[in-house]
Every structure is written in C-alpha cells, then in structure tokens.
C-alpha cells in the first residue's frame, strides 16, 4: 500500500504544473494547496485517486506497524535491562571467584603447619625412645 503513495508522489513530481484553462477535462484537474493545478492523464488521475481512497487503510496499517515497533522496542529494552543485570551479577561472581582463589592460594597447606610437625615429631621421638629402650633391655 505504501508503494501506491510513492508512485503518486513520483507521478505528481513528473507532471507539469498548468492552469485549469489548459486542461480539457475538469475531472482530470487536481488542486494543489488551493492555488496550483495539475493536468493529469486519465491513468494518472485513476492512480492518484486510488491512492487517496486507500489512505485510511494506509493510516491503519501504519498505526499497527508503529504499535508493533513500540512493542518490539519495549521488548528490546527489557531484554537489554536483563542483560545488564546479568552482566552485573557475572562481574560480582567473578570478583568472588577471584577472592576465593586468592584465599585458597594464600592459605597455608596442611603440611606447612608447625603444630602438625610438632605432634609428629613428638610421636616419632617417643616411639623411637621406647623402641631403643626395648631393644637395649632385651625385652
């Protein structure tokens, strides 16, 4: 339907402006802005008036298209907001992961604990002393 309007403008832009006295048929005279007139051929007049008659349909289709685009724009905005929120959550989680990895890397391992080796040394020392004493005394 929109192509009919484009064709009508193309036809109007390619026709020459004329006065009404040059037009032979009054039904083929189109008034422009109340003061200028166009002489139209019957085919041009038919195309122009068919476009003019389909104008309400075009407005309805245009209105529906605008509503559809507004709904799509709202949907895109909602999706963009969700994407931004997910991005923010991802950044927070990545920072937590970095913090946990740093904590794991900086924490002493179990085998680096001085208390562990003190207890192990105590048991080894006691066990060695008891074993040597038992072996020397003939047990």
Question: Which string of DSSP letters, residue by residue, matches 91-104?
Answer: HHHHHHHHHHHHHH
Return all residues near 4 (Cβ < 8 A) that are at least 6 apart. 47, 50, 51, 54, 58
Return the SS3 of 24: coil
Q: pLDDT tens across 60-94, in order?
A: 888 888 899 999 999 999 999 999 999 999 999 99
Q: How far apart are CA 118 and CA 136, in angstroms?
A: 27
The answer, as to whether pTM is greater than 0.75, is: no
pLDDT: is 132 or 56 the higher one?
132
Q: Which residue has the tokens 């195309």?
A: 47
Q: pLDDT tens across 17-33, in order?
A: 444 444 454 444 445 44
Q: How far is CA 60 from CA 7, 57, 70, in A?
A: 19, 5, 15
pLDDT at 16: 46
pLDDT at 17: 45
């Amino acid at each position: 339907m929109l192509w009919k309007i484009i064709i009508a403008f193309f036809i109007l832009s390619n026709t020459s402006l004329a006065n009404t006295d040059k037009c032979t048929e009054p039904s083929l005279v189109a008034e422009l802005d109340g003061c200028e007139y166009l002489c139209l051929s019957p085919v041009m007049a038919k195309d122009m008036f068919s476009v003019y008659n389909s104008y309400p349909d075009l407005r309805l289709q245009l209105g529906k298209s605008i509503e559809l685009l507004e709904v799509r724009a709202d949907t895109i905005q909602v999706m963009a907001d969700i994407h931004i929120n997910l991005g923010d959550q991802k950044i927070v989680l990545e920072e937590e992961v970095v913090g946990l990895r740093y904590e794991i890397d900086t924490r002493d391992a179990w085998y680096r604990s001085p208390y562990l080796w003190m207890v192990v040394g105590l048991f080894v020392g006691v066990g060695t002393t008891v074993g040597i004493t038992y072996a020397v005394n003939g047990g």
